[in-house]
Structure 1
Amino acid sequence: MSSAVMTHPVRLVQAQDLAHRLGLDGLAIDPDPQGPSSALRTALVAWSAAAPGASHHLVVQDDIEAPVELLEIVTEAATRFPDEALAFYTNWHARNGGAARLAALAGAAWVRAVPDEFTPSLAVCLPVTTAAAFTSFARGSAERHDDELFSVFFRERGRMSLLAVPNIVEHIGTSSINGHAAQGIRLAACPVSAADAGPLLAHGRVLEEPGWIPYMRYGEGYIRLPGQEKDADGGRGHHPWREALPATGLTEEGVHAVRKAHLPEDLAARVAHTFGRPFAEELWTYCLLLGRQAAHAARSLGPAPASVPDAAVSRLRRAAVAGAGPAGLSPERRPEAGPEEVRAMTALALSAVRTGEALL
Structure 2
Amino acid sequence: MIDISAAIMHHPRRAERIPALVRACAPLAPAVVADPEPDGRPSPLRTAKRAWAAIAPGATHHMVLQDDVRLVPGFAEQLHRAVSGRPDHGVSLFCLWHTPHNSYLVRRAAVAGAAYAPLSPYEWTPTQAFVLPVEQARALADHLAGIPDEVQDDDEMIVIFCREQGIPVVTTVPHLLDSGHERSLVEGHSDGLRATVYTPGTPWPADGAAGPDLPPGACAVELFDSVCSIRMIYGDPVEHQFPWYWYDACPLMGFDPEAVLDAGAAHLSGLPAGLARTMSEVWAAAYLLGADVARLVPGLPGSGTLTRVALESWIDQGLSTRDREAAGPLRDDCVRLAMAAVRQALSDRRLAHA
**TM-score normalized with structure 2 length:** 0.85
Deviations 1:161-215 (A, max 9, x none): 1111211211122311123443x32211111235432464753332233453323
Q: How many equivalent residue pairs? A: 340
Residue deviations 1:288-337 (CA, integer Å, cap 9, x gap): 111111111214xxx99xxxxx99x922222222222112124x569749
- Quote the residue 1:284 is aligned against: 283
Question: Does the 8 Å CA contact 1:2/1:50 hold for their aligned counterparts?
Answer: yes
CA contact (8 A) 2:70 2:179 kept: yes
Decide whether the 8 Å contact of 2:268 with 2:276 is kept in 1. Answer: no
For 2:114, the aligned partner's letter is: A
Tell me the amino acid that sits aligned with residue 152 of structure 1: I
Residues 73-110 of structure 1: CA distance to partner in whole angstroms, max 9, x if unpaired?
Answer: 11122222211100111111212111111111122111
- State the alpha-carbon separation in 2 of the partners of residues 244 and 72 from structure 1: 43
1:19/1:339 CA distance change after superposition, 3 Å: farther
**Unaligned 5+ residue runs, structure 1?**
305-309
Residue 12 of structure 1: SS of its match in structure 2?
helix
Partner of 2:163: 155
Cα deviation for residue 338 of structure 1 reads 9.8
> What is the alpha-carbon distance in structure 2 between the residues aligned to residue 333 and residue 88 of structure 1?
32
In 2, Cα distance between the equivalents of 1:32 and 1:335?
39
Alignment-mate amino acid for residue 79 of structure 2: V
Measured at CA, do residues 343 and 321 of structure 1 come closer, stay the same or move farther in structure 2, by a change above 3 Å? same
Q: Distance between the aligned counterparts of 1:222 and 1:199, measured in 2?
A: 29
Q: Secondary structure at the match of 2:213?
A: strand
- Given the alignment of the two structures, is residue 171 of structure 1 paired with residue 179 of structure 2, yes or no? yes
Structure 1 stretch 196-205 or stretch 282-291: which is displaced more? 196-205
2:127 is the alignment partner of 1:118: no
- 2:230 counterpart residue number: 223
In structure 2, how many angstroms separate the alpha carbons of the residues matched to 1:66 and 1:334? 31
Q: How does 1:19-168 map to 2 (within 5 A)?
A: 19-23=22-26, 24-94=29-99, 95-142=101-148, 143-168=151-176
Once superposed, what is the RMSD of the aligned Cα atoms?
A: 2.9
Report the Cα distance in structure 2 between the residues aligned to 1:104 and 1:138, rounded to whole angstroms.
Answer: 33
8 A contact 1:4–1:26 mirrored in 2? yes
Fraction of identical pairs, as percent: 29
Show the 5 A alignment for 1:317-356: 317-330=307-320, 332=321, 336=325, 340-356=329-345
Q: What letter is aligned with 1:155?
A: R
Q: Which residue matches 1:307? A: none
Alignment partners' CA distance in 1, 2:336 and 2:238: 36
TM-score by length of 1: 0.84
Bigger shift: 22-31 or 338-347?
Answer: 338-347
Aligned partners of 2:33 and 2:47 also within 8 Å: yes
**1:177 alignment partner, SS class:** coil
Kindly indicate whether the alpha-carbon contact (under 8 Å) linking 2:324 and 2:331 is maintained by their aligned counterparts in 1: no
Compute the displacement of 1:32 (Å). 1.1
* TM-superposed deviation, 1:40: 0.9
The correspondence for 2:255, drawn from 250, 254, 274, is: 250
Q: Distance in 2 between matches of 1:203 and 1:245?
A: 31
Amino acid at match of 1:263: H
